Amino acid sequence: MTVYAAPIKDMHFVLSHIANMQSVQELQAYQEASQDIVNAVVEEAARLAETQIAPLNSGADAAGAQLVDGSVKPSPGFTDAYNSYVEGGWASLSYAPEYGGQGLPDLLAAPVEEMWHTASLAFALCPMLTASAVLALSKHGNDSLKEQYLEKMVTGEWAGTMHLTEPQAGTDLASIKTRAVPETAADGSQQYRMYGQKIFITWGDHDMTDNVVHMVLARVDGAPEGIHGLSLFLVPKFLLDDNGKPGTRNDVHPLSLEHKLGIHGSPTCVMSFGDNDGAVAYLVGEENQGIRCMFTMMNKARLEVGLQGLAISERAYQQGRAYAMDRVQGSNAQGEKLRIVEFADVRRMLLLMKSQTEAMRAMVYLTAAEIDKANHGEDPQARAEAQARVDLLIPVVKGWCTETSQEVTSLNVQVHGGMGFIEETGAAQHYRDARILTIYEGTTGIQAGDFVKRKLLRDNGSAMTSLLQDIASTEAELTESGDALAAVRTALAEGRETLQASVDHLIQQAGSDADHHGAASFNMLMQAGVVVGGWLMAKAAVAAQRDLAGADADRDFLEAKIKTAQFYAAHVLPRAESYKRIALAPSDVVMAIQEEQL
C-alpha cells in the first residue's frame, strides 16, 4: 500500500504565486474566503484525504464494487469515508449559497479536489459526477426541480450521475437512441417515460446515498435526428413521495458492472431504463436543448479530469520517490552500497515526474482562478478576457495533464524496476487507474480537435496571441532575475517561438489543406501543454527566487522549486521543438496511405 501526504507547501505556493489567490479573494463574491479560511480548508481536507480515503485505495482496487441482487455495493470502507465527507461539509464547498453551498472559490476547490483524487480516483469520481449533475440542474432546471433535488445533491446526501454514452454513441452523441415519451402526471404537470440503455455509467448505482439522481441525454419521440434533437432529463433512482423523501423505486436499474483495467472501486454500470412501465423522467431546460445544457458543464468537467491527471501523477511521484530513497542496488568505487536515488538516471526519472506534476498543478489552479474571474469579475471586459483564457486552456489542461499522467505513472513503474510490474507494490494500480483519463470526458483526439478548430482557428489565434504575450512578459522577468535563470529564459523563449510557428502555420494552411488541422492537432495540443507548463514553472522560479530574499524563507522548498524549473526547462521544454516539426509536416504523411495499406 502506498502512503499519501498532501503536498500542502506546493499547493499554497501555487495558489498564491501562480494562480494569484489574492486577486480572487478581492472579488466581491469571495470576500469571505480569507487566508485563515483557505489555510483551514486545505489542512482539514488533507487530514481526511490522508487518513481516511487514501488507505482505502488499494483495497478498493482488489475488491472492486459488486452488483448484488440488482444493487451496487461499494468497495469496503467507501460508505464510511463518504459519510465523513458529507458530514464534514466537503460536498458543498464551492456551490452557490442560494442552493445551500458555501460559496467558496473554484480556486480553493482545486487543491481540495486534488487531494480527494490523489487519495483515491475511484472514490472521488462519485462526488465529481455529482458536481456535474448539480451544475446542469442549477443552470437549466426549473424552480420545482431545483427545490426538490438541488439542496440534497449540494450537501452530498444524494449523489448524481451523467448518462450520455450508449453502445453506438460514444464520441458521437448524435447517435443517441434512448427515448423519452411525454405524458401528463397525476398532478397535471408534464413528465416523460424513458426507455433505453446506457453504458459505461460511472457510479450509475450504489447505496452510499439515499437517492441517486441521474442526468440523462435522450430523444423525445418525434424530435429531429442528430445532436439538435437531444434533450436533458432528470431521472431519480427513487421517486420522491409527498414529503420530498425517496419513495417508490423508479424503473431504472443497473444491469451489470464492467470488468475494467483500472479504477475498480468506481462502479461502471450498464443502465437500463424502462424495462417495466418506463422510467419517470423530468425535462431539464427545454426540449431539444440537451446539448446546449451539456456544454454548460463541459469546461468544469474537463478541468476536473485534467485535475485527475495531476492527482494520480502526484500519487505516483510520491511512491516513486519513497522507493528510490530506500532501494539499495549496486555500490560505488569505494564499495559503499548505493540507494537508487543516487543514480543520475533515476534522478532524471524522478525529476520528470516531479517537474511535470508541479507544472500540471500550476496549470490546473491557474485555470480554476480564471474560471472564478470569468464568473464573478466585476468588470465585463475582464470577465470576457478570463473566459477566453479558460476556453483556450481547458483542452490543454484536459489533454496534456492526462496524457502526461500516462508518462508519470509509467515512470513510477520504471523506478520500481521489476517490483513495479508486481501488483503488490501498488505502482501498477496507479498506471492502470490513469489509463482512463485520456478517454472519458472527450478523448485526447477530441480535445486536440477542439483546441485547433474552436480555440485557435475560430478566433484566428487571438486568444493564443494574448497568452504568448504573457509568456513573453515572464521572459522579461527572467532576464531581470539575472544569470541564475538565464537558461530557463532561453528555453522558454524558444518554446514560445515554436508554438507561435505552429499556430501561424495552422492558420496559413486552413484554407488550402483540409486535413492539416486533424493531422497536426494532437502534437499542437501537446506542444501547448509543454510550453504553458514551462511558462508556469518559469513564473514559479522567479517567485521562488524573490521569496528567497525574505528573512524567514523556506530555503529548501524554494531552492527545490528553482532546480525543478531548471530541470523542466532543460529536459521537457525542448520537446516543443519536436512537436512543432511534426505539426509542420504535410498532412499527406498521415493521409496518403490507403486504408488497405494500414
Ligand X SMILES: Cc1cc2nc3c(=O)[nH]c(=O)nc-3n(C[C@H](O)[C@H](O)[C@H](O)COP(=O)(O)OP(=O)(O)OC[C@H]3O[C@@H](n4cnc5c(N)ncnc54)[C@H](O)[C@@H]3O)c2cc1C
Q: Is 200 in the site for ligand X (CB under 6 A)?
A: yes
Q: Is 116 in the site for ligand X (CB under 6 A)?
A: no
**Closest among 155, 167, 8, 168 to 82, alpha carbons compared:** 155
* Integer angstrom CA distances of residue 587 from 458, 512, 517, 528, 575: 20, 11, 8, 20, 21
> What mask, x for binding ligand X by CB under 6 A, covers residues 441 to 480?
--x-xx--x-------------------------------
What one-character DSSP code corresponds to residue 418? G
Of 202 and 211, which has the nearer Cβ to ligand X? 202
Confirm if 288 and 220 have CB atoms less than 8 A apart.
yes
3-state secondary structure of 195: strand
Give me the half-sphere count of Cα atoms (radius 13 Å) on the Cβ side of residue 289: 11
> What mask, x for binding ligand X by CB under 6 A, covers residues 240 to 269?
--------------------x-------x-
Taking the C-alpha atoms of residue 197 and residue 555, their distance in angstroms, rounded to an integer, is: 57
Q: How far is the CB of 362 from ligand X (least distance, A)?
A: 27
- The one among 163, 237, 264, 361 contacting ligand X by CB under 6 A: 163
Confirm if 112 and 11 have CB atoms less than 8 A apart.
no
- The one among 41, 135, 164, 536 contacting ligand X by CB under 6 A: 164
Of 260 and 327, which has the nearer Cβ to ligand X? 260
Confirm if 317 and 412 have CB atoms less than 8 A apart.
yes
Confirm if 215 and 178 have CB atoms less than 8 A apart.
no
Footprint of ligand X on 202-231 (CB under 6 A): 202
Q: Is 281 in the site for ligand X (CB under 6 A)?
A: no
Taking the C-alpha atoms of residue 520 and residue 448, their distance in angstroms, rounded to an integer, is: 9
The letter for the amino acid at 26 is E
Q: How far is the CB of 337 from ligand X (least distance, A)?
A: 43
Taking the C-alpha atoms of residue 515 and residue 366, their distance in angstroms, rounded to an integer, is: 33
How many chain residues are in contact with ligand X, going by CB under 6 A? Answer: 19
By beta carbon distance, the residue nearest ligand X is 170
Q: Is 523 in the site for ligand X (CB under 6 A)?
A: no
**Closest among 497, 504, 540, 536 to 520, alpha carbons compared:** 504
Interface with ligand X by CB under 6 A: which range of 161-169, 276-284, 465-473, 547-555? 161-169
- The one among 24, 351, 366, 436 contacting ligand X by CB under 6 A: 436
Of 439 and 501, which has the nearer Cβ to ligand X? 439
Q: Across-strand partners of 191?
A: 183
Residues known to be catalytic:
441
The cell 451489470 sits on which residue?
256
Footprint of ligand X on 21-60 (CB under 6 A): none
> What mask, x for binding ligand X by CB under 6 A, covers residues 317 to 356?
----------------------------------------
Confirm if 221 and 181 have CB atoms less than 8 A apart.
yes
Interface with ligand X by CB under 6 A: which range of 97-105, 195-203, 413-421, 477-485? 195-203
Q: Is 440 in the site for ligand X (CB under 6 A)?
A: yes
Please state at what angle helix 486-509 crosses helix 555-567, rounded to 10 degrees: 40
Q: How far is the CB of 262 from ligand X (least distance, A)?
A: 8
* Integer angstrom CA distances of residue 354 from 482, 528, 561: 25, 19, 10
Footprint of ligand X on 416-435 (CB under 6 A): none
Q: Is 439 in the site for ligand X (CB under 6 A)?
A: yes
The letter for the amino acid at 356 is Q
Of 201 and 531, which has the nearer Cβ to ligand X? 201
Of 121 and 493, which has the nearer Cβ to ligand X? 121
Taking the C-alpha atoms of residue 267 and residue 259, their distance in angstroms, rounded to an integer, is: 9
Q: Is 4 in the site for ligand X (CB under 6 A)?
A: no
Of 478 and 519, which has the nearer Cβ to ligand X? 519
Sorted by sequence, the CB contacts under 8 Å of residue 529 that are 6+ apart come out as 363, 396, 399, 400, 401, 403, 404
Enumerate binding residues for ligand X (CB under 6 A).
129, 162-165, 170-171, 200-202, 260, 268, 436, 439-440, 443, 445-446, 449
